[in-house]
Structures are given as C-alpha cells and as structure tokens.
Amino acid sequence: MDLLAGLREIVGDTHVVTDPDAVAPYAQDWTRRWHGKPLAVVRPATVAQVSAVVRACAAAGVPLVPQGGNTGLVGAGVPQDGEVVLSLARLDSIGPLDPLGKTLMAGAGVTLAQVQRTAREAGLDVGLDFSARDTATVGGIAATNAGGERVMRHGVARFRIRGLEAVLADGSVVRRMSTVAKDNTGYDLVQLLIGSEGTLGVITAVQVDLIHPRKIIGTALVAVSTVDDALTVLRAVQHDFPGLEAAEFFHHDGLQLVLKHERRARPFDRPHPLYLLFDLSDGDGRPDAGEELTELLGGLDCVRDLVVVSTSAERRRLWELRELQTDAVSAEGVPVKLDVALPLNQLSTFERRLAGVVRPVARHAMPILFGHIAEGNVHVNLLNALDEDAEGAVMEAVLDLVASLGGSISAEHGIGLANARWLTLTRSSADLAAMRAIKQALDPEGILSPGRMLPDAAPALKRP
C-alpha cells in the first residue's frame, strides 16, 4: 500500500492534504525565507494517530517534520522537499487545570494565548509571553524551548514545563506528567525533549507549570544614547525594583519601520538612538512604584527622555512599538535573521563591531536590532542582505563575532536549518558526539526532522 493511502486510512481523507494551495501555509515559514515542497501535510487528531503516522512514514522511509503554529524562525518546522509535514494543530484539547498543584494540561496544538486565558481564568498565569502568542502552540514552545519577554523573571520554556507526552521515532509513546513537584526517578526525558526541535520525538501534549500572577502596575519607555547607557539604566532599575518583570530594547531604525509600516504614533517629540521598555509588577509591594520609578529614571544623567504609564491601553501602545518590530521588518523585506545572546559586558562591543564585520560581505545590509536586554538577547535582522547570504557569508560573519565574544549563536529561536552549520562555533566535538549518540539511539533511521540541529545528520531522502 502506498504511503499516502496508508496515511488517509489513519487520519481520514480530508486530513491528508496534498493540494498545493492548501499545503502552501505549511510549506513556508513566516519570514518567507524557509520553504520546501512536502509530499503531504498530515493532520492527526489523537496521539494514537500521531503514533500510526510516524510508524507509516518510518516503514516507507519518508522523513517527517512536526509543525505547530509555524511561527518558528530557523526553518525547524518547515518541510524540506519530499518530507511529510506532521501538523499538531488538531491536538487542541486543554485541561484539566490543577489549582492546588498549579499545573495545566494542554494538547500540543493549543496556542499560548489559550493557555494564558485558561490560567488567568483560574487566577494563575503561565510566566511565558511573546508577540506570536495567538499562533504559537505549546508543542512548538516546548520543542524549541522558547523564550520571550518574561524570561528575566520566570525563565525560558523549560522552566515552565513540568511534563510532556511524545511519540518517538519507533511510534512508541513516552508520557511523563508528574503530579508531584519532586520526582527524581531516572533520566529526565522531559528536559531532553524540550528544545530538541522535533529531532528526537513528536511532542503531543504538555503539562505547564503555572505561577501566581503579578499585576503590572507601571510600564516605562526610556530613551538613551548608547548600549552602555542602556545597561546603566537596567542596572539601576533592577537594583531598586526587584519586581521588574520585563526589560526590552530597540533602536531608532526599528522604531522608524514600525511607524512606517504599522502606523503607530511616535512616543517622543524628538528621535533617540536607543529605547528601553520596562514592565514593573506589584511584587515589591510598593503602591507608589510608578512615581518612584519616574523619580529614579529622571535622576539618571543618561536618560534623554522618559514616559511612565499605568493603564492597560497605554501599556499596549508602548509594547506595540517593541512587539511590532518583527512585522515591520518583514513588511520592509526578507531579512537575514539571527538571534544571538552576548554576555552583558560584551553587548556594546558587539553592537559597535557588527557593522564592521557585516559590511565587507553585505555592503547594503541594514541592521535592525531589538530584543531582550536583560539576557543580552539581540535579534539581529539584516535587511538587504539576503542575496549576499546565499552561501551563508553574512550569517558566518555575525556568528563568528558572537562566538569570539563568548556569546551564544542561538538564544531562543533554536538551531533548525538556519544555524546547524554553525553549531560547532560554540559546542565542542565531544558535545556534538554525545548529541549524535542520543539522536542515533532514539531515531536510528533519521526519520524525524533530518538535517535540523545536527549539522550532518541528514540522511538521503527516499522518495516514494
């Protein structure tokens, strides 16, 4: 029996999609940089169906790539030619929520926004947030160990996930959802699968660890001249306000793109080189925190301009200036998109040297930098550089600089196809050998997401 017929038998005719128009949204990523021609998109509705689909693909020797909301940015969830896209979108059941143990079960296809809503209705929260919340799914968040805007307070996704269910390459189902907070029994398969980007298993459900919510009582937009000034402000705010919930940054050029493409109002009368955005929570138990923050920032010589707001509409308006940077960059063109992290004491050196390493390989590149300053996480978007990057010269120039400064070549977006070539910059050969041994043990035929993450693990495609 041919593979497509077998897949139709497992999930039903309508959920094996081969029509090119219907396949298109699954076949290309959000940035339009990563795309392929899949054999089919398969949309199972249960973990049993996922298992049967994996077995069928393995038997036919056809690789598959799991896909959640398709908001990834490194080509990890986008098919290469001939692969099967395994969409987890229909695994969308949510609950139960355990208010005492503070956990919430969610199918892999549940969006972050749905998880947030369910948690908040119960007086709890998730401790994870980022701009793709309405589309990104918890399965994808777990698979990529996503980060976002709350990391400085609540950690990356792996700190927010207690349990997982996943289908391995042989179709077996591992399920580790713990009802207790302490559980030291054996290898931690949950943490191994988190961040494995679909290369070790297909995540089908997630047990989210919930937090007691903090109320955001003040949001500040602060204009400064340089990265060093930004770090001075960050240090002062962190010192005086341990309840700081978020610290983000963006530059003048990125703001200009948001004003141009997203038609938002400019925040200050005059332009500034660099902006910081802070969210302050009620965690410090200081009712006048907003005024105290205004006073602190107003007293710093390096602050050029400042606005502190408290209503949710005003907060939204400031946050859009930061969150819409991704959309605004994309409206301008397809960028070479990197996501790096620098030790904070190297951040200004990185920004200073960036143009010098990019210009020789991409003369017309226009860098748009923004990100999560508390973690030194810089999203480097290089517009007008795609042609020059055909052989990876632009990526290599930037990632070499990052590695030489002791940073990470992927802070929160993952490795996927985009960064696999450069994993050796920051991971040793012993590290890579251990990773390959794990991959070999769990997926000996290389059926799951071949070529992603590990540089040379891509098997020859067997096409039907």
> By the criterion CB under 6 A, which residues form the site for ligand MLT?
130-131, 326, 339, 371, 379
Beta bridge partners of 234: none
Q: Which is nearer to ligand MLT, 320 or 400 (CB)?
A: 320
Nearest CB to ligand MLT, comparing residues 190 and 418 = 418
**Token reading at 104:** 């919430």
Shortest distance, CB of residue 418 to ligand MLT, whole angstroms?
12
Query: Cβ closer to ligand MLT: 339 or 351?
Result: 339
Minimum CB–partner distance for residue 439 and ligand MLT (Å): 26
Least distance to ligand MLT from the beta carbon of 380, Å? Answer: 9
| Torsion angle in degrees (nearest 10) through CA of 288, 289, 292, 296 | 180
Instruction: Give the burial string for 272-282 (b: 16+ CB within 10 Å, else e).
Output: bebbbbbbbbb
CB-nearer residue toward ligand MLT: 34 or 130:
130
CA distance 109 to 138: 7
Q: How far is the CB of 414 from ligand MLT (least distance, A)?
A: 11
**Alpha carbon of 11 to those of 8, 22, 39, 86: distances in Å?**
5, 17, 16, 11
Q: Which of residues 124 and 373 has its CB atom nearest to ligand MLT in the complex?
A: 373
Residue nearest ligand MLT by beta-carbon distance: 326
Question: Rounded to the nearest whole angstrom, what is the least distance from the CB of residue 339 to ligand MLT in the complex?
Answer: 6
Nearer to ligand MLT, 160 or 379 (CB): 379
- Kindly tell me which of 155 and 287 has the beta carbon lying closer to ligand MLT: 155
Nearer to ligand MLT, 245 or 339 (CB): 339
